[in-house]
Amino acid sequence: MEHTNSKVGAELLRLTLACRNADKLAAARVGLTVDEMHFLGALYLDRPTCVRELSELLRISATRASKILHSLEQRGLVMRALHPSDRRMEQVSLTEEGQRTAENIVACFRDEQGTALRKMTTELTKQFSWVLPAVVWAYGISSLTI
């Protein structure tokens, strides 16, 4: 069992490194930092409504989230407004340009995945497509119910 756990750990590390490289490439393609890209991606995919939710989702401090938000706001990709029911909170949303940029980010990852999946057999591709949502869920970054 220990050998299997070590092997899985090593493969997860390899996957993490590959994802890090994919992050850098995708961020460069859309002209953002990796943190900015993650922020836009979280807004696009999970629709958090306030800075606190975003910072918790991305596992960054509220201060860091506010700095990223300011940068994206200056670029016209996000907008803030006071929360209608709690004036102490700010709502965060994508602008039309932010929506287009987030869609381009998703396309970058789709293209990257397509390149990787073309190297796999049809059966492996099916297995990967089945297990990936479960792995994402297990890491606590998906609302998927298993």
- Phi first, then psi, for residue 144 (nearest 5°) are -55, 140
pLDDT tens digit string along 74-84? 999 999 888 77
Please report the beta strands in 3-146, taking only residues with DSSP state E, as ranges in sequence order: 78-82, 90-94
Q: What is the distance between the alpha carbons of residues 47 and 43, in angstroms, rounded to a whole number? A: 5
Euclidean distance between CA atoms 99 and 107, whole angstroms: 12
Q: What is the pLDDT of residues 109-142, one digit of tens each?
A: 888 777 777 888 889 888 888 888 888 788 776 6
Burial class from Cβ neighbours inside 10 Å (0-12, 13-18, 19+) for residue 49 reads middle
Domain ranges of the chain: 2-138
Q: How confident is the model at residue 43, as a pLDDT?
A: 92
* The CATH number of domain 2-138 is 1.10.10.10: yes
